[in-house]
Amino acid sequence: VRARVMEVIEAPNVDYADIGGLDEEIQEIIETVELPLTEPELFESVGIEPPKGVMLYGPPGTGKTLLAKAVARRANATFIRMSGSELVHKFIGEGAQLVRDLFQMARDKAPSIIFIDELDAVGGRRTHDGTTGSAEVNRTMMQLLAELDGFTDRGNVRIMAATNRIDMLDPAILRPGRFDRIIEVSLPDEKGRDSIFKIHTRKMTMDEDVNLEEVVKQTEGTSGADIKAIVTEAGMFAIRRRSKSVSMEDFNKAIDKVMHKETSTEPPAP
Ligand code: ATP
């Protein structure tokens, strides 16, 4: 049971080149997470300590997990993911012990990157309404803070966390020496969507009429995960026609389906 709450990947297969529209975020992660693992002597000679914990925040499906996996790969580090919401909802009574196990495993498998997803489930502002399980959640969170504070390994274990709701986090968790570097991962703009579409259509056979620029224009407000879904759906529409190549029409239908748009091409009912 315990194995399921933690996902351990010795060598993640995501590279920075597979992540679109997050060049500045990648640069920041290289400096704060990758370099402390690969060139710790840089920090030693300058005489500063790298940030202990890096917090990624932003809407779902924008690439936070991809960033953590890609930096683990670049640094040849083991990637250890733990889901904050599973921790408190599926493993009631075990949260604090699991947090201890997580940090122990990270030290055993070092160099490693701990990635805690949905941190707000554990590190949410303390509730005063006596919600069931909140004492348990607090114990889990206290253990997490204790592990962060007691953390002396300078170089070879790095901690990243992700949340969709930074406003919901207990301010204690963002204090200096804890998750004190905050990186926003927002929805992609036009240029970002363009590179994400290019990444996900790299292996796709497309008709000449496919105008990705137009597709990018029509998909304002989508996340990287939505874009991946649009590309897959477009491929499915082509397969349904038994076509080996994806058409612009397939893309238009896929956009409507994923973005829940009304199909305006249909004639009005008589
Ligand atoms: P959540 O907050 O829901 O956990 P997340 O921000 O961690 O989301 P990911 O798991 O990294 O999102 O993204 C889900 C999938 O969407 C990825 O596996 C990838 O296929 C696609 N995706 C998301 N963002 C990007 C991006 N910036 N570039 C390329 N693909 C992306």
Q: Please give the chain's pLDDT, 270 residues, in tens.
A: 454 668 888 888 999 999 999 999 999 999 999 999 999 899 999 999 888 889 999 999 999 999 999 999 999 999 999 988 888 777 777 888 889 999 999 999 999 999 999 988 887 765 555 454 577 778 888 888 888 888 765 568 999 999 998 888 888 888 888 888 999 999 999 999 999 999 999 999 999 999 999 999 999 999 999 999 999 999 999 999 999 999 999 999 999 999 987 555 555 555
Backbone angles phi, psi at 156, to 5 degrees: -95, 5
- What is the structure's pLDDT at 247? 98
Query: What residue owns the CA closest to ligand 1's atom 17?
Result: 225
Which pairing describes strands 181-184 and 53-57: parallel, antiparallel, or unpaired?
parallel
Ligand 1 atom at minimum distance from 59 CA: 2
Closest Cα partner for 12 from 57, 87, 77?
77
Query: What residue owns the CA closest to ligand 1's atom 16?
Result: 225
> What is the rounded CA–CA span in Å between residue 131 and residue 260?
35
- What is the structure's pLDDT at 180? 82
Query: What residue owns the CA closest to ligand 1's atom 21?
Result: 225
- What is the structure's pLDDT at 266? 53
- What is the structure's pLDDT at 134? 72
Residue 62, annotated as binding a ligand: yes
Ligand 1 center from residue 56 Cα (angstroms): 12
Ligand 1 center from residue 62 Cα (angstroms): 5
Ligand 1 atom at minimum distance from 195 CA: 28
Q: Quick check: pTM over 0.80?
A: yes
- What is the structure's pLDDT at 268? 55
- What is the structure's pLDDT at 213? 97
Ligand 1 center from residue 248 Cα (angstroms): 24
What are the DSSP E strand ranges found in the chain? Answer: 6-9, 53-57, 78-83, 112-117, 157-163, 181-184
Q: Which residues line ligand 1 (CB under 6 A)?
A: 19-22, 60-66, 117, 162, 164, 196, 199, 224-225, 228
Residue 65, annotated as binding a ligand: yes
Query: What residue owns the CA closest to ligand 1's atom 9?
Result: 63
